[in-house]
Structure 1
Amino acid sequence: MVMAIAESPTNGVHSAIGQAHQDCLEGTLWRGLKSGLPEGCSRTAPWRQAAQHRRILLLDDLAGLDLGKTPCKMQTRRYLIDDLLKDANEASCARVTPLKWWWGTEIERAWSRLREVEERMVGLVDGATLPVYAARAAQRGHAYLDYADPQLAQLDKLCAQSDPPEAELRSATAEVLRAAHAKADHANREARYLRNRLLIASVFCVVFSAAIVVAQAAAPTLNFVVPHDDWHASAWGCLVVVMLFGAVGALFTAIPAVSRIPTNVGPFNLPLQQGLLKIAFGPLVAVVGLALLGNGIGPMKPPQTVPDLLLMAVIFGAGQHAVTRYVDKRAGQILTAAAPTTASNSTNRNAASTA
């Protein structure tokens, strides 16, 4: 159909479009313009949808390139479509095993291919379209790179010129894109590493809490938390209730961390892992705090009633924030680095970082 339109003398515009894309009609380009996600993935992880959306946009940009009769550029476009974007599509549709989820294998694979396509496309666009790509690269550079970055400064200088040298502008655009992508990838890797460490710490806290309960049940005469006379259940039952109220106290401090989730974060949910660590760590702090009070260590008196005991467990559970706030600070730094800033506050952020 496209060839018929191209041969019609009354359709000059369609003829030009058909001629420009004739070399791509038999490849995967036009079949790839729709999402490669199966129908069962409509409710899948957001990163898959984001990767597919970006892949489709890149396919559309590649389809709109006017490469003329340059075989080298046509071959490069074919490589970007049939190899890199195809691999990105396969990665975004691949089954993620627990090990791949832990290391971020598929998401790293998908976005590395997409970003490589963006960088290589700078060498394919014509001179008239190049300033548009340079402006996009400069915007991304200001979002991720330092204000005094020499590559970004060179690109800004070239963009400010009315007629910059094409070769220099093309090279500076590609270099800024590579630097911005490297900065974003590094921030996402740091977020994933911190997420994994928080998960390990949370698992250890849960294991230690379970071990304390088992030890209390195995040795009824050895009380980690001394039950009062008005407590008529078992000693390990008292310990479980204390841990539960300690987790409630920790939940109070987890709510602010979860509520501060930025709207433009990466794919690794650090605030959720922060909250889980606080809730898992709260019961241990509650048990240790009440054990110290029961042995007369500290300025406060031991609780005299069950309500006082549970209230102190909540207070000690919330007190775990004194330890986990260092984790909150590190997570905030990573989230700030991973989330791109807008043009209005990019200068303020970089000025603050150099102050």
Structure 2
Amino acid sequence: MTIRLALEPARLPHDGSFPKLSWKAPGRWLDVYVRAQSLWWSADRMATTADATRLAGLEEVKNVLAAVAEQILPTRLLPRIRLWWSATPIEAAWGLLHDIEERLVSLASDEDVVSEAAKALEHAPPFLKPDDERVRYLRETLENARAAADPAAHAATVRTAAIAVLAVTHEASDMLHRQARTLRNRMLGASVVSLLAVGIAFAAQAVLPDGQLLLDVGTPDPPHRMAVLGLVALSGLIGAVISALPVMAAMPAGYRRNPYALPVQQALLKLCTGPLTAIVGIALVSSDLGLHNTGQLVSLSVVFGTAQHVLTRIADQKAAQLTNAAAPASTPPS
């Protein structure tokens, strides 16, 4: 999928409704579509009571939102992979939606601006502290407007405060998702490097004429050294699965709450690193411990596979910070 952000006027259906999204659109674009549709309906609702000046601005907003939905297009495999890696179009689309959300607050009527400001205040907690000066000022202006006999008299102040909070919140949200994408790409790169290292270990074990990475199991009929290496890698993978299960179980649903599916990348990194740590660990200790049977080899390999958590802990901590920051607050201030 791709999106042309040099947006052309939207070709709206004859009934003026919001364009439908292709069933081929991936889930990541579905969130963009749903948000664009929600903003489109808000603009459409505001347009019913808008004066001529605001009506022109609201119609322009509706056209841009419809163009966003229309210009999500299917692409071939290679461009799709580049899109998945860089995510520049989707991040640009979210930036555009954020700008439109701020624009809608500026176009809201004096009667609607209080409710729009309340929405802005609900979006702030994941990114701004409750005692942030801008949040506190918006909360105070909202309270004054609600307590006044004529709330519309405070519309200008409320509007300015709401746009300021939205701008900072959107900037923090965009930064969060850029950091999440960078972390995902780094974890994916580390996963690939781990797999390459395991492949190199197998190649070295196969071609070394006199030496070997792992000692044969000390039994009367020892298995082939490649079989031993494969058994160690498989046991390390089992250990990695054990450590990856809690990560997958704690994975929240929803792309926006869980940007770039970080728990999936965490689990993948563990699964790719587990066989490597098992091979390295057994290679280091096998001669000293004197492994005499397959059971000992498997048990120790599982332990080393689970121990990859020591190497991936930093990525886990960073992913947890980003995922928690993307989660909505459970009790947003009123």
Superposition TM-score tier, normalisation by shorter sequence? 0.7 to 0.9
Partner residue of 2:327 out of 339, 344, 349: 339
Residue 166 of structure 1: how far off its partner (Å): 1.6
2:206 is the alignment partner of 1:217: yes
Match of 1:353 in 2: none
Tell me, in whole angstroms, the C-alpha distance in 2 between the residues paired with 1:112 and 1:202. Answer: 30
Cα 1:91–1:239 shift into 2, 3 Å: farther
2:178 equivalent in structure 1? 189
Map of 2:117 onto structure 1: 134
Deviation, structure 1 residue 209: 0.4
1:56 is the counterpart of 2:26: no
User: Of the candidates 291, 300, 317, which is equivalent to residue 303 of structure 1?
Assistant: 291
Aligned letter for 1:151? R
Question: Which has the higher mean CA deviation after the structures are superposed, 87-96 or 235-244?
Answer: 87-96
Describe the superposition over 1:78-101 as per-residue Cα deviations: whole angstroms up to 9, x where unpaired. Answer: 321223x14421454453611111
* 1:88 pairs with 2:78: no
Structure 2 unaligned blocks of 5 or more: 1-9
On the 8 A contact 1:123/1:170 being kept in 2, the answer is yes
The more displaced of 238-247 and 191-200 is: 238-247
Matched with 2:6 is none
Partner SS, residue 240 of structure 1? helix
Q: Which runs of 4 or more aligned residues in structure 1 lie more than 6 Å from their structure 2 counterparts after TM superposition? A: none
What secondary structure does 1:269 align onto?
helix
* 1:276 counterpart = 2:268: yes
8 Å Cα contact 1:88-1:111 kept in structure 2? no
Question: 1:244-259 residue pairs with structure 2 within 5 A?
Answer: 244-259=234-249
Rounded Cα–Cα distance in structure 2 between residues aligned with 1:283 and 1:319: 10
Distance 2:40 2:66 in 1: 10
Equivalent of residue 286 in structure 1, options 265, 278, 293: 278
Q: In 2, distance between residues paired with 1:48 and 1:106?
A: 10
Report the CA distance between 1:207 and its aligned residue.
0.5
The aligned runs of 1:37-116 (5 Å cut-off) are 37-38=21-22, 40-41=23-24, 44-65=25-46, 66=48, 68-71=50-53, 73-83=54-64, 85-90=65-70, 92-95=72-75, 97-116=80-99
Which of these residues, 251, 262, 265, is aligned with residue 261 of structure 1?
Answer: 251
Q: Give the letter aligned to residue 322 of structure 1.
A: V
CA RMSD of aligned residues (A): 2.3
Which one-letter code corresponds to 1:56 in the other structure?
Q
Aligned in 2, Cα 1:157/1:262: closer, same or farther, shift over 3 Å? Answer: same
8 Å CA contact 1:51–1:92 kept in 2: the answer is no
Amino acid in the other structure paired with 1:279: L
SS for the counterpart of 2:125 is helix
**Deviation digits for residues 151-203 of structure 1, max 9, x if unmatched?**
11110010111236221111111111111111122111111111100000000
Check conservation: 1:115, 1:181, Cα contact below 8 A: yes
Q: Give, in whole Å, the separation in 2 of the partners of 1:214 and 1:90.
A: 50
Q: 2:215·2:287 contact (CA, 8 Å) conserved in 1?
A: no
Deviations 1:244-298 (A, max 9, x none): 11111111001111111124523411111111111111111111111111242xx
**CA deviation vs aligned residue, 1:34-66 (integer Å, no higher than 9, x gap):** 44312x42xx42222222222222221111224
- Tell me how far 1:144 sits from its aligned partner: 2.6
Per the alignment, residue 7 of structure 2 pairs with: none
Using a 3 Å threshold, how does the CA distance of structure 1 residues 306 and 256 change in structure 2: closer, same or farther?
Answer: same
Equivalent AA in structure 2 for residue 284 of structure 1: L
Cα 1:144–1:32 change in 2 (3 A) is: farther
SS at match of 1:225: coil
1:6 alignment counterpart:
none
Partner of residue 176 from structure 1, selected from 165, 173, 183 = 165
Instruction: Single out whichever of 103-112 and 132-141 deviates more from structure 2.
Output: 103-112
How many aligned positions are there?
312
Q: Contact between 1:246 and 1:282, CA under 8 Å: does it hold in 2? A: yes
Distance 1:249 1:207 in 2: 19
> Which amino acid in 1 is paired with 2:272?
A
Is the contact between residue 188 and residue 269 of structure 2 (CA under 8 Å) also seen in structure 1?
A: yes
